[in-house]
Chain A
Amino acid sequence: MELRAGDSWGIFTFLCAALCNLPALPALNCSEELGAGQSIQQTYDLTRYLEHQLRTLAGTYLNYLGPPFNEPDFNPPRLARAERVPSATVDLDLWRGLTDNARLAANYRAYSRLLCYLRVLDGQVGTAELRHRLAHFCASLQGLVLSIGGVMSSLGYPLPAGPAGPPAPPGAPAAPNDFLKKMDDFWLLKELQTWLWRSAKDFNRLKKKVPPAVVTLRLEARGF
């Protein structure tokens, strides 16, 4: 990132403007804020990619589960035992009322657990092709968990305690029969979809709070 002499005046102006605005950004008040904007952007992109990936994967997987799971209007009541999958059905206002830290931590916890269930799911699938796709998705989701962790640490938040690091096998007992297992799978995918949708919104909001321009400018300044 070499800068020519002619650019220095413009960059200096930008730098000044950015520095004036810096105190207004609470997220940038910590020492590790340098890569935050970029990692938020990356996390957002990854979330959108996972959303897209899950859309096709869910279609295939629900077809694999067979009717009625692949019927578009299938909406079974959520059984009590399915609650072991972290639900994203929190009231939106309530959710918005949370702090960034709380939201990120909730995201982090949720994906860590969802990932555990997804891995169990992967081991049970009968067809090799679907197994392969699920494994691919698991890897991506693992990336998302790490990415959220990265965002949190870059914003200076502590990682939530609990199922962090290597995901432990789910503590809840396995479903007693195949049908309930399929219901769990259905809910898992549904919750994943909801979580990803909400996470995308979260990261988008966060992204606006931490504009990447500042970060870029910072990086340029470092090269300067």
Chain B
Amino acid sequence: MKESRLCSEWDRAKMLPKSNELQKKIIMVSTIGGASEDSEAQRVNVTYSDLTPQVCFKIKERRVEIPIPESSIRVTIKSSGTAFATQEFAIHQKDISFVPVTPHILSLIPDFATSTLNLKWSDNGSVFPYGLHALWQIQILRKEAMEVVTQVTYYSKLTHEDVILSWNWTSDMPLECTSHYVKIRCYINATQYVGPKDWSDWSPAEVIPGKDTEPGGSGVFPLDPVVAVGSDLTFCCVHEEDQRITNMTYGSKSYTMMKLSSRSHAIRVLNASVSNSSGTNVVCRLENGLEGSVVFVGYAPDIPQNLSCETSNFLIIKCTWKPGRPSGLYGERRTKYSLFERTSGKNVSCEVSEVNKDHVCGFPVLPDQKTYDFVLGVSNPIGQAQSSLLVDITQRVHPKTPEKLTVTGNNSTSIQLRWFINGSFAEVRLLCQIEINSSHSERKLHNVSTPGRKSSTYTAQLNALHPDTKYQFRVRCSAADHFWRWSDWSRGVEQTTSEAPPARGPDIWRERSPSGESLIVFWKPLSLSETNGKIVSHEVSCHLLETLLEHKVVFEPSNRTEIKLGKSDCVISVVARNQAGSSPPSRITSVELPSDNVTTDQAVAMGNGINISWDSYPNMTCGYVVKWCHSSGSEPCIVDWQKFPSNTTNAVIKSALFKPGVRYNFSLYGCKSMGYQLLKNVTGYMKELPPKTAPNFIVEETSSDSILVKWEDIPVDECRGFLKGYLLSFAKGEKDALKPRLSESGNPELKVNNITDLTKKSMKILDLQGKTSYQLELQAYTAGGLSPPNSLYVVTKEDSVGLIIAILIPVAVVVLLGVLASIFCYRKREWIKETFYPEIPNPENSKALQFQRNICEGNKTLKTLEMNPCTPNSVEVVETQSTAPKMEDTEMMSPAAETTVPEDGCDSEMENHVVVSYCPPIIEEEISNPPMDEPGGSSQVVYIDIQSMYQPQIKPEEEPAIDLATTAGYKPQMQLSISALKIEGHSPVEEELDKTAGYRPQTNTNAWNMGTPDSPGSVESNNENASFGVHVQLIHDSFYFPQKMMKTLLNLLIQGGPSHTFFRTKQMINSGSSLHMNLPSE
């Protein structure tokens, strides 16, 4: 029983004793058995225990299967061959290893497209008890050399049934590239088995042959794969045996190749990026050929975002979504969308354009289904995604734009609209919104709720419209119960309502004409909202009690009329009329009640209106009226007015017509049952501005120290504000167009008088300077500022006293000085005379010259001076003063003078006292020349230099060479060189020469006496004034000056001719010295 159990349970399993032991036995058996073992059967006796009978197996193989003993068995192996041998041993249970049967690969199916291997095998589980754990080791080998690529352990649980196990493996290398092999072995964890357990043997390798083993198999693999961005890819190029591979490129890049076999090479591309729209080319260039593949690298689709479904017509449900990132795959590999509705199980595939950002897919509305459970499926070769949405379609109604909007009914205040919406809205109510636009009211929206119908026309009535108004209408609709979205606005339609009578009578006022004979009635135009049409005319009637005094029809656009009323009063009523009818009448009485104490106030606008306030008048039962004119000027004013209830005491008058700087006059009237009473006048400005023009002013009066200025008022129109005063400024200043205004000139003397007393129209400016020009400027000013200045220039009158004083004082001073000078001169007349006009003695009276006269007289009769031998006459000057003569003596007696004379060729006998010498050759020379040189008869000054007689250097022949055309003869010694040059320029001015070269005071005679005759330069430089000369002016008009005449002339000169003699020796005369002249005799 036990035996059978064991056998039945384990009969298929291999119960091996410890392998080496059993093997040894078997080998031993074989060695013992020798060559004849095949023919000889062996007998194996197995004894389980002492109790059980022996079991004998007669076998020819070297293995025997025996049941596993409970603890141990005894085994006796007997060889029944020729060589008898017996082996006997015991096998214990714990020594028996458990080795599962080698698994058998049922199938190995490659999927080349995904490079996946599918391995299938049976676990043989039926032979094992339930629940054993089995481990399967699978080995993948590659290439011809069978390199182990990977080895994985697969775990399974045995279920006491034969189960086909399956395992997938994805290769990183395409299966076409090279052969792949798969082996499997197992290990069963039989827990209750006491002996050792071991892995089974490897199953025989199952092979998936690569293309490189196929004859003629070539190409680049994998072929046209689609992979996700970032994948690592391996491509291989399989070619014929006889071909050589050149290179392999992925895109434009060349990669290094790995050799897989003699016919196969691979490249590895890491982190692939998105390929272009036609895919990235992988090209394998062979020596004489080309292989290639295209790889498509892209993204798995994103989950669709913002999936939203709605219907516009209950026929089609439109779902929209945002697709997210583009997959980078195109054509067949593009991302595809399908809309699946779970409730109905209906599936719709969506044709989606690549161009649109928002993808749209339509799904038909199913009958009797309100709720839709949509699943939007997205897929592409790399991946898939989905997004779901549950919608109640009645809550997702987005009607189409209403069409055919028309106006059907129309009166002055109501209008009927019709429009059409395409779609069957039978299941929902529609809410439509009508937009009402008119030119003079704000945009209004009017909502209309209406039951939906199938492709139907809808109507709406609009009431409370304004008569005679152009309206624009447009409509949009949505679902009323569950608002989702408005449709677009329909096209607009325009309609004008018809006219109605004006809503009220016009606002009226009346005024008596200045003459009081007629009454002018004014009315204000009604506002657009009150006219209800175009106003055609106003009807004005005048009733006294019940009798109609006058009735007038005034056509537009006049807003006033005049009623000849005389002195009587009446009640005026005005009615506005348009095409549709008349307004209710407005009434006003013409009665004006007398008033007293009417004051006039001033008011300036604060903010945007002029504030007028008044005391409360309790007897004004029907309110107040403020009336004003819209122009302060002379033209007929545009009357305007405003009414206030009787409880008001102030009013802010606003008007768009008010302008700054314009004076407005307001009149406040109180309304009593009897009529209107003037209560108050107000003048006001919207804003005060500086006066427009300068005030006119004139100078009334001027005196030497004051100016009286008078001015005129500025006209009210030009004042542009309430006049506050005047500024009179003045300063000294001449009239000058370029001069700036006084106020701007910054003149420090500027004085400004501010005149605030407006009644004052003149002013006297005091403390001015006489006969001075003043600039005056007058400016008026208001609260708004200063007017432009008006300028005047005024010269003050002369101050006569001052002038008189100014004349008298210098005159008096001059007279006084004159007197003083006279007195002085008188007192000092002696001294003056001595100084300025010394008495010159008459040489004729000199006894020393008596002989000369005789000679001269004798000359007429006798022979004149004898020249040869030259015996110069000498003039001896005898000085009374002690010092001078001594000096003269030494000078005159100097030997140098004596030695020079003979050289001159003048054989004169010089005496000691000779000072002035006469030398005939000089005169000869001088006189002989002029007739030839100057036949024109020009004047010639001849100097007879007495001292030059002693100068041998100055030869007579040389003199013309010194360019002294006009000079010859005697010259003062010291001017030999200088005065000669001077004369050149001043030849006619003899008198000047006289002064310089002529007579000189002899105070310095000692000086020129000191000069040696042979050094004239020193004389010249030291004694400029020590000249001694005779000046002879010859006016020759073909005048011949004979030698003898000259001699006579000289005589005359010496005798002291009154006009030609400048030979003065003042000192000498004064001191009473005598002149000795030795005239040479011929």
Contact = CB atoms under 8 A, between A and B. Distances in A.
Contacts of B278: 64-66, 125-126, 182
A7 interface: no
A16 interface: no
A68 B294 contact: no
A178 B294 contact: yes
B249 A178 contact: no
B243 to A, nearest CB: 12
A69 B276 CA distance: 13
A1 interface: no
A89 interface: no
A13 interface: no
Interface in B223-261: 223-224, 249, 251-252
B279 to A, nearest CB: 6
A66 B283 CA distance: 11
- Pick from B249, B276, B280, B288 the residue with the most CB of A within 10 Å: B276
Contacts of B275: 66
Contacts of A68: 249, 252, 281, 283
Interface string B334-366: 000000000000000000001100000000000
- Pick from A177, A179, A182 the residue with the most CB of B within 10 Å: A179
B294 A182 contact: yes
Contacts of A124: 331
Given A126-B330, A178-B279, A67 B293 contact: no
B639 interface: no
A158 to B, nearest CB: 41
Contacts of A179: 220, 223-224, 281-283, 291-294
Contacts of A223: none
A177 B293 contact: yes
A161 interface: no
Main SS class of interface, A: loop
A31 interface: no
A177 B176 CA distance: 15
B224 A66 contact: no
Interface in B257-286: 275-283
A66 B297 CA distance: 14
A23 interface: no
B288 A77 contact: yes
A67 B220 contact: no
Nearest to A123: B331
Interface string A171-212: 000000111101100000000000000000000000000000
A71 B281 CA distance: 13
Nearest to B293: A179
A127 interface: yes
B293 A64 contact: no
Interface in A98-130: 124-128
Nearest to A63: B276
A69 B282 CA distance: 11
Contacts of A71: 252
A166 interface: no
B279 A66 contact: yes
Given A67-B252, A68-B283, A177-B223, A126 B277 contact: yes
B841 interface: no
B653 interface: no
A72 interface: no
B289 interface: yes
B570 to A, nearest CB: 90
B330 A127 contact: yes
B906 interface: no
Contacts of A67: 249, 251-252, 281
A150 to B, nearest CB: 36
B290 interface: yes
A26 interface: no
Contacts of B223: 177, 179
A120 to B, nearest CB: 13
Interface of B: 220, 223-224, 249, 251-252, 275-283, 288-294, 330-331, 354-355
27 contacts: A64-B276, A64-B278, A66-B251, A66-B275, A66-B276, A66-B278, A66-B281, A67-B249, A67-B252, A67-B281, A68-B249, A68-B281, A68-B283, A71-B252, A76-B290, A126-B277, A126-B330, A126-B331, A177-B224, A177-B294, A178-B293, A178-B294, A179-B283, A179-B292, A180-B292, A182-B292, A182-B294
Given A67-B249, A125-B278, A179-B220, 4 more contacts: A68-B249, A126-B330, A179-B281, A179-B283
